[in-house]
Chain A
């Protein structure tokens, strides 16, 4: 019995341990009957166009976007910020014996800017008289609220967006005094009292061609500061009461004057501007809601190549930003999110990787000598979706940066009709395996 157990264990040992020794092997390749072919297909037609979202959500953006600039392609773009405020700490009480001093709006640059910041800019601050509210708690680039047309402050300044500074805008003393008195006299004792009187402010940019600037909405970055003094024996002590951004109720109103541009006829979201009618280019402008639309109409032709025994291995869309369409001040994002849009240009899905992370079209090739960039977008989800469709749903792809709702970045791509070295291309690798034997 002992022997048998020994033998048995030996059997197991031998069978488990020994036969996994082989590592990198090619002898025998000549005898293998691997029939799988992989074919590169780069002849499928790509159709690029541009469409305009009727509106895009700009609330909850963590950024107040203010400024205006005029673009030779896109026309004039202007952004105003709407901000509603709440006391930074919950107290509505001031110190005893307080005396009003001054009031200011302090805005911390978040380093975002678009277009040259050399020119002086002018911001004007207004009180909002409507409740900043909506049915679905969302606000759009097209949303507007009533204001008191008498400004409560304005500032002309040279922007220094990348220095980590804040912009300091002194506000009207009458506005400040009233706020001080209401607090001091206990007219405002809670948030509701406060919101009843102070709906918010609008930070409006003048419409000169300057730059569009981003400001952080974080608690200690952008706020209205009420300064007041309490007399003491030797000298006055200065106190501050801060009202910071209520980030659930701030948004940017972004408008674009497209008269005279190629987009002037894009009046509804379901319309699109084919690249062949737009200098062989397609366009995207964040904030304003201009977006790329890329269709691959004949995906099912892949079945002609492979018959039943074919399977998609990879699909890569490559596109290049048009020459001289970007610069240091009109910079380009190095990654774009991927979306599926339907025939009405409504977004139906964001494309994700298998592990749930967003899929990005990324710059894969940066050639500084020729000043060219190439984006590479994996689009196998889109191709598989189109392959499986029973009826053609006219789905298309769209790509835009994650800052599409919080910036005004533009993107101009060479379309499928551009010259060979620059045009948009689609590379599909398709595996064709053998019939079962």
Chain B
């Protein structure tokens, strides 16, 4: 336990660096708001529709609902680290570009603190900003010449979350979590006129605290429901902007600090169902979430914010966890995710859907440690609506370790 804590804290430290410095997105849509929300989850959820509010935290951490921590396997220590890579084609009415990104997607630990309660600590990218526009040409007003602009955006917000779950009764669990949301979004705009360059660099730092509440209820051993609520949150923003020019004979530099307008995250409500069938071999989950963006009364230069609907469906099959045949111990999963988007551009929502298949590969017979691999294909936006369309292939890896694995190493 000691070693694992040590390792985990180092990992947290390093991941924080990663999370702040690398862009995890290559989406033009990250130009608006605070970037593209990161919908990658922890453990198996990526191939099960990405919501899963009613799922337990028994073999995989369910970071979507803190109530799940109220019923953990005793003496287990769950640890999850994720990586994702994404290949996408970005298409507008004129052209098509291929982009590739990859990065860490989460790091989470969870463990029970009593028979009836558990906690988890996680660091998950919250939003990702990663766009690059090169060679934009605009007219120099009053002339027939053009100037060239390059824009690079990067960064994003991180969610550092402490969650707690508690079993009120055998059937009812409740939970709460507090998230520190923080991060920096950088944008560097370079304008070039002949031999002169103007570079405007913005560093936008946002931070805030969000409270999540959750509950899970088991109707029977086979049927559960889950409920979550994220409370509205204001993120405070500060901007440092530097304006530098490089001319033939002169260099100028100017720096400005400003308070940015608060960015409001809306109330989010989610409801999920889970059922076990075929003697627990087959698990089905279905989830719905609504984010009440409209009430935040915010708009972006692109369009206005509208209420967002998310739907997730997942099916998981495992023949026999105790089988001696490896493939019979493997989880086979598939899922579907729909996200209506929270922004309307020219009367069209930027929606997003994806289909996933995945496997959970057990690492050893003695523990629940597992390598979860998920492949998703999806689409965001539609060229036919005059929007940018992104077709993406996403491969995510979640290494979900059970604490027995660590303990065993200790006695090696």
Q: Which residues of A does B touch, CB under 8 Å?
A: 1, 4, 7-8, 10-12, 14-16, 18-19, 21-34, 36-42, 311-314, 351-354, 359, 378-381, 384, 429, 431, 433, 436-437
Contact = CB atoms under 8 A, between A and B. Distances in A.
A8 B81 CA distance: 10
Contact of A14 (B102, B136, B261, B409): B102
B28 A27 contact: yes
Shortest beta-carbon contacts, A-B, top 5: A28-B28, A18-B102, A381-B249, A40-B142, A378-B248
Contacts of A384: 250, 252
Q: Is the interface of B mostly helix, strand, loop or mixed?
A: strand
Interface in B219-262: 239, 241, 243, 245-252, 254, 256, 258, 260-261
Interface residues of B, number: 75
Contact of B102 (A4, A19, A25, A354): A19
25 contacts: A10-B83, A14-B103, A14-B104, A15-B103, A15-B104, A19-B23, A19-B24, A19-B102, A22-B134, A25-B134, A26-B134, A26-B135, A28-B31, A31-B31, A31-B32, A31-B388, A37-B141, A38-B193, A39-B140, A313-B196, A314-B195, A380-B196, A380-B249, A429-B196, A436-B260
Interface in B73-104: 81, 83, 85, 90-92, 95-97, 99-104
A26 B31 CA distance: 13
A294 to B, nearest CB: 16
Interface of B: 3, 7, 11, 14-15, 18, 21-24, 26, 28-29, 31-32, 81, 83, 85, 90-92, 95-97, 99-104, 130-136, 138, 140-143, 145, 147, 149, 151, 189, 191, 193-196, 198, 200, 239, 241, 243, 245-252, 254, 256, 258, 260-261, 301-302, 388, 399, 409
Contacts of A359: 248-249
Contact of A27 (B140, B143, B251, B388): B388
A404 to B, nearest CB: 20
Contacts of B130: 19
B252 A311 contact: yes
A177 to B, nearest CB: 60
A350 to B, nearest CB: 11
A354 B250 contact: yes
Nearest to B95: A27
B200 A40 contact: no
Given A429-B140, A437-B261, A29 B133 contact: yes
A25 B85 contact: no
Given A18-B100, A22-B26, A34 B249 contact: no
Contacts of A379: 249
A380 B250 contact: yes
A432 to B, nearest CB: 9
Given A312-B252, A354-B247, 9 more contacts: A11-B18, A12-B18, A22-B26, A24-B134, A31-B28, A32-B133, A34-B151, A37-B138, A354-B250
Contacts of B28: 27-28, 31-32
Contacts of B99: 21-22
